[in-house]
Amino acid sequence: MAYGCGLRVSEIANLKVTDIDSARMLIRVEQGKGRKDRYVMLAPDLLDLLRQWWRVKRPRGWLFPGQQPGQPITTRQLNRACHAAAEAAKLGKRVSMHTLRHSFACVSACKFDPVRRGIGIQL
């Protein structure tokens, strides 16, 4: 979600199942930075992954439930999962949830900016 949509770790933690609008391919982010609501684009590949997740876990309420019943996953748990995945992939670099968010921004900028695309910036 951080890489696929550019969401902040706190925004991912606070997503509800009802925030996913597969018909319009949007995700509603409630009370993001600055306490503002907004919508972000939902990529088809990410929707497929979310559907697989839903079939396995069948979350109610929070999209990513925490260890405590009725509570969302914590940002710390998400960061730990990110670090564990990076270690398992043997990336050899420090990776954080914010790194994924930043990578989304860089890829998006290159994809939609003809100047960067034209000079061949490689990511």
Taking only the tens place, the pLDDT of each residue in 26-37 is 999 987 677 789
How high is the pLDDT of residue 44?
Answer: 92
Q: Do residues 82 and 95 make contact, with C-beta atoms less than 8 angstroms apart?
A: yes
What are the beta bridge partners of residue 20?
27
- Shortest CA distance to 6 belongs to which of 101, 82, 110? 101
- Count of beta carbons in the 10 Å neighbourhood of residue 91: 10
Q: How far apart are CA 48 and CA 39, in angstroms?
A: 19
- Is the predicted pLDDT of residue 19 greater than 80, yes or no? yes
How high is the pLDDT of residue 116?
Answer: 47
Amino acid letter, 23: A
Write out pLDDT tens, residues 69-93: 899 999 999 999 989 988 999 988 8
How high is the pLDDT of residue 32?
Answer: 67
Measured between its terminal Cα atoms, the distance across the chain in Å is 19
